[in-house]
């Protein structure tokens, strides 16, 4: 029933169980309960959900490989911009061709942005606390993500704000929350939260780093982010998780710049 269609009691047409009303006659779907399908989670057609996740996952994989293993900063920055832009276009095409109206409705409620901003602030605060705690007993190297991000941010601050502050978070939210989480959410809330958190954390984990300890030290941060963003999505949908993610990434870009200049002139 969660993947196959249900029959409209009014006109007899078949439609997705997650829809609030029948797309043919607009009769309210009485079989849809808020417990099964919370009102702010955005459900694409199951096939479109899987497509969005696979497209996004492939793009993010490409991007990680290109940015972090390329020795030429200029070329990797240009490649990153192009990759993110084509990724947004392809994923939005899937969404806009299938459930355009429902998707735009997700961005109309101010309260969802408030949820996102509150969770974003919690993520920034907890992130600072975690990095302070880990820095007490671990003084080693930065992990590859931080090191690569730092060198790029310092050379291209404005482009970095656009890429890491906006495009990256939007792409990742479409992939992990709109694609992956909403698909699993059809079946079970807790399985969906745990699986999305783990997948989100481990895509940021660099297994090829020779200094594996520095990656393990960063893991709690990734898990925390994965969980909080998924929670934001469950409560407030795409506008909540996107605003939380954008806020967090802008804050960490600013902190990276401050750390660099403070370190330079101290």
- Residue 22 CB, shortest distance to Zn ion, in Å, is 3
Tell me how long the chain is. 266
- Residue 35 CB, shortest distance to Zn ion, in Å, is 23
Give the position of tokens 């809330």: 189
- Residue 6 CB, shortest distance to Zn ion, in Å, is 10
Q: 14: which strand partners? A: 7
Please give the full DSSP string across 177-234, using - where no structure is assigned: IIIIIHHHHTT-HHHHHHHHHHHHHHHS--TT-S-HHHHHHHHHHHHHHHHHHHHHHH
Report how far apart, in Å, the C-alpha atoms of 187 and of each of 9, 18, 40, 115, 228 are.
Answer: 23, 11, 17, 24, 20
Give the position of tokens 């492939």: 58
3-state secondary structure of 35: coil
- Residue 37 CB, shortest distance to Zn ion, in Å, is 18
Q: Which is nearer to Zn ion, 5 or 10 (CB)?
A: 10
Q: CA–CA separation, 77 vs 84, rounded Å?
A: 11
Q: Which is nearer to Zn ion, 10 or 135 (CB)?
A: 10
* Angle ∠(131,132,138) on CA atoms, nearest 5: 75
Q: Which is nearer to Zn ion, 22 or 223 (CB)?
A: 22
- Residue 47 CB, shortest distance to Zn ion, in Å, is 21
Q: Which is nearer to Zn ion, 19 or 242 (CB)?
A: 19
Q: Which is nearer to Zn ion, 30 or 210 (CB)?
A: 30
Q: Which is nearer to Zn ion, 20 or 74 (CB)?
A: 20
Contact positions vs Zn ion (CB under 5 A): 8, 10-11, 13, 22, 24-25, 27
- Residue 101 CB, shortest distance to Zn ion, in Å, is 16
Q: CA–CA separation, 192 vs 233, rounded Å?
A: 12
Q: Which is nearer to Zn ion, 20 or 24 (CB)?
A: 24
- Residue 12 CB, shortest distance to Zn ion, in Å, is 7
Three-state DSSP string of 103-148:
HHHCCCCHHHHHHHHHHHHHHHHHHHHHHHHHHHHCCCCCCHHHHH
């Amino acid at each position: 029933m969660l993947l196959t269609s249900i029959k409209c009691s009014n006109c007899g047409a078949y439609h997705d169980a997650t829809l609030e009303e029948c797309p043919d006659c607009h009769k309210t779907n009485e079989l849809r309960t808020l417990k099964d399908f919370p009102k702010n989670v955005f459900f694409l057609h199951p096939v479109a959900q899987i497509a969005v996740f696979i497209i996004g996952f492939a793009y993010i994989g490409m991007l990680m490989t290109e940015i972090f293993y390329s020795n030429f900063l200029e070329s990797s920055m240009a490649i990153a911009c192009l990759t993110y832009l084509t990724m947004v276009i392809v994923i939005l095409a899937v969404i806009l061709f299938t459930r355009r109206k429902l998707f735009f409705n997700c961005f109309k409620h101010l309260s969802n942005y408030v949820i996102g901003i509150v969770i974003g602030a919690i993520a920034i605060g907890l992130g600072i606390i975690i990095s302070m705690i880990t820095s007490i007993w671990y003084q080693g190297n930065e992990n590859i993500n931080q090191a690569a991000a730092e060198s790029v941010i310092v050379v291209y601050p404005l482009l970095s704000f656009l890429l890491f502050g906006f495009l990256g978070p939007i792409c990742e939210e479409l992939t992990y929350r709109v694609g992956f989480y909403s698909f699993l959410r059809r079946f079970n809330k807790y399985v969906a939260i745990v699986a999305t958190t783990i997948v989100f954390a481990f895509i940021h984990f660099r297994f090829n780093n020779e200094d594996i300890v520095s990656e393990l030290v960063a893991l709690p941060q990734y898990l925390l982010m994965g969980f909080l963003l998924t929670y934001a999505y469950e409560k407030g949908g795409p506008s909540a998780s996107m605003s939380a993610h954008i806020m967090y990434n802008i804050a960490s870009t600013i902190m990276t710049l401050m750390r660099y200049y403070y370190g330079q002139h101290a």
